[in-house]
Amino acid sequence: MPYLRAYRGRIILALLCLVAAKLASVGLPFILKRIVDQLNAAGPDALVIVPIALLVAYGLVRFSNVLFGELRDTLFGRVTEGAMRRIGHAVFQHLHALDLAFHLNRKTGGLSRDIERGVNGISFLMRFMVFNIVPTFLEIGLIIGLLLLNYSAWFALIVLVSVAAYVGFSVIATEWRTEFIRQMNQAESKSSTRSVDSLLNFETVKYFNNEGYEARHYDAALAEWEQARRRNRLTLFGLNGGQSLIIALAMTAAMVLAAMRVRDGDMTIGDFVLINALMMQIFMPLNFLGFVYREMKGSMANIDAMFALLSVQPAVLDVPGSKRLAVREGRIEFDDVAFAYHADRPILKGVSFVAQPKQKVAIVGSSGSGKSTIMKLLFRFYDIQSGAILIDGQNIAEVSQRSLRKVISVVPQDTVLFNASIFDNIQYGNVDASEEQVWQAIRMAYLDDFIKQLPEGADTYVGERGLKLSGGEKQRVAIARAILKQPAIMVFDEATSSLDSRAEQRILQAMEQVRGDYTSLVIAHRLSTVVDADLIVVLDRGRVVEQGTHDSLLSTEGRYAALWALQNNHGV
């Protein structure tokens, strides 16, 4: 309902057109009765005697029925499309507002199908609820009233009993079938998830020669979908058969009663035609109503899945009255920070260090020591269990997430790019940046020489997730994108860990180019990349075991010196 309130005027006009169309529809059989009776009484010169006005009225009423129906569809079409757009937009925004934990566990293929089916389900539900269910019952009410006023109560009773039996049977049978529809949707989502996941990891499939394995798993998911579809089809056969039987019995009973009354002289041939027309007029939309109700139940199941997404609450929320982060210098402080993804497995245990404004601070340590977690916490992808993270003395838990993330740029370990041009991917760092600003960022990331070598230059498309670029090229695109954001804080999350020496040198040049403009936090695996850092923080099993410059840490012969010796001895 909240999505419909903006269209109140259109909805009222559409409903008025609906009522007008139904009044015209119910009036048609009565005009037809008059025509038949006068033709029957007039004999051979019927066309002369029958008032032309009745025939003209019949044509006008039929045209009015169609015209009001078309007006109704046109008026309500905008309501449906507007609601679909607003709901689809709300779901999309909500998904981006959810925390990292949700997105790490999501199944993209199934999620996209849930949204698609849900939005389409809303369209179906609104269109048929307003244009089929409401008008059909309005028409049934009108016809029962007219039969009571003009004919025997038996006709009204036949209509009432048959409609009640039809609706009751349809509801019970459809409720029974709904579970099979859900199973079919789940199977479809599962197969979609499998296919999308496999295609996104195309290279991995090829590396391990597992095309057959993927095809077998996809076929197994399709087999579940096929089985669910089969059960759905068989139950549909039973539902359609039962509905058809109820309609046939009701039509037969009404026509037998009408024929007997014509025989007894209580009704004319025109009345017989009218009763037949009214019964057909009831049961044709009612028969369609069975289909509509079935589809509505399916649509409701789809809508439930989509609105279940809207009901998921983010784990990381802005506190009430949160203020905008005001960055003056870019000082970062971790004060006794403790964090765990799961309560039984702590990751950070009382981590404390300070990155002074414009300094380059490196976080080093063995795998699993919590280095990348520090970046995620600074960006507030998760909330810490205790301690505080401060930027220029402001606790990041007390400022808005949007203002926090506006001042931080990240060059991630695994750079994922959009399937767009190099220029578009870099401009994504600041979508309002001018072309000259984008090219300045390209030059600062030492990416201009590479771009000049490409036939299409900066307009070259990078492929899905940037697969057409090498690791070093993707990293330099990521650095250019981060520079364009013009942040106060720059985070490099193992930006050179997977690169060869030449590519690493270009990345280090790019990183050095922007040094001094921002406070830099460098999460590093290769210690050779951080020897010039103003401060090196050494983590071990979630604790800060050492802090200092490269030379001072080597002189203490502690954990850092051991890591340095290990990497130099193995040529890392």
pLDDT digits (tens, 9 = 90+) for 250-282: 888 888 888 888 888 888 888 888 888 778 777
pLDDT tens digit sequence for 147-206? 888 887 888 888 889 888 888 888 888 777 777 777 887 888 788 878 878 887 776 787
Q: What is the mean pLDDT of residues 315-319?
A: 86
Q: Is the pLDDT of residue 562 over 70?
A: yes
Strands 519-523 and 489-493: parallel
Distance of CA 372 to the CA centre of its chain: 29
Share above pLDDT 70 across residues of the chain, in percent, rounded to a whole number: 89
- Give the helix/strand (H/E) hosting 531: none
Residue 137 has pLDDT above 90, yes or no: no
CATH of domain 5-311: 1.20.1560.10
Please write the tens of the pLDDT for every residue from 162-173.
888 888 888 888
> Phi first, then psi: what are they for 544, rounded to 5°?
-80, 115
Report the distance separating Cα 77 and Cα 14, nearest Å: 10
pLDDT tens for 346-403 read 999 999 999 999 898 999 988 888 888 998 899 898 999 999 999 999 999 999 998 9
**Cross-strand bridge partners of residue 346:** 340
Residue 365 CA to residue 539 CA, distance in Å, equals 5
pLDDT digits (tens, 9 = 90+) for 424-436: 989 988 889 999 9
* Cβ-based neighbour number of residue 233 at 10 Å: 11
More confident residue, 173 or 293: 173
- Spatial CA neighbour of 334 closest among 559, 560, 537: 537
Distance CA 482, CA 405 (A): 12
More confident residue, 146 or 437: 437
Q: Is the pLDDT of residue 536 over 90?
A: yes
What pLDDT does residue 507 have? 64
Q: Which of 104-118, 206-220, 492-506 has the lowest mean pLDDT?
A: 492-506
**448 phi and psi angles, rounded to 5 deg:** -65, -40
Question: β-strand 394-395 against 408-411: which pairing, if any?
Answer: unpaired
Mean pLDDT over 209-228 rounds to 85
* Under 8 Å between Cβ of 466 and 477: yes
Q: Coil, strand or helix: which one is 294? A: helix
Q: What pLDDT digit, counting tens, does each position of 452-476 carry? A: 888 888 898 888 767 788 877 888 8
pLDDT for residue 437: 92
Flag the least confident range among 34-48, 111-125, 536-550. Answer: 34-48
Region 278-297 average pLDDT: 72
pLDDT on residue 281 = 75
Q: Which residue has the higher pLDDT, 559 or 135?
A: 559
Entry pTM: 0.63
Please name the helix (run of DSSP H) or strand (run of DSSP E) that holds residue 338, with its range, or none. strand 332-342
Q: What percent of the chain has pLDDT over 90?
A: 16
User: In the chain, what are the helix, strand and coil shares in percent, each to the nearest 5?
Assistant: 65, 10, 20
pLDDT at 572: 45
Indicate the domain borders of the chain: 5-311, 332-569
- CA–CA distances in Å: residue 207 to residues 201, 203, 215: 10, 6, 15
For the segment 121-129, the average pLDDT, to the nearest whole number, is 75
User: What CATH architecture does domain 332-569 belong to?
Assistant: 3-Layer(aba) Sandwich (3.40)
- The pLDDT-based confidence of 34 (bands split at 50, 70, 90) is confident
505, pLDDT greater than 70: no
Q: Give SS3 for 411.
A: strand
Greater model confidence, 439 or 72: 439
> CA 386, CA 373: separation in Å to the nearest integer?
15
Residue 50 pLDDT > 60:
no
Q: How high does pLDDT run on average in the chain?
A: 82
Would the pLDDT of 56 be above 70?
Answer: yes
What was the pLDDT predicted at 333? 95
Please say whether the beta carbons of 483 and 441 come within 8 A. yes
> In this predicted model, which residue has the larger pLDDT, 337 or 5?
337
Q: Which of 96-105, 160-169, 553-562 has the highest mean pLDDT?
A: 553-562
Task: Provide the pLDDT for residue 44.
Answer: 55
The average pLDDT across 210-219 equals 86
Query: Among the residues of 312-400, which ranges form H helices?
Result: 371-378
Q: Which amino acid is at 410?
A: V
Q: Kindly state the average pLDDT of the residues 24-45.
A: 71
Helix (H) or strand (E) holding 205: helix 202-207
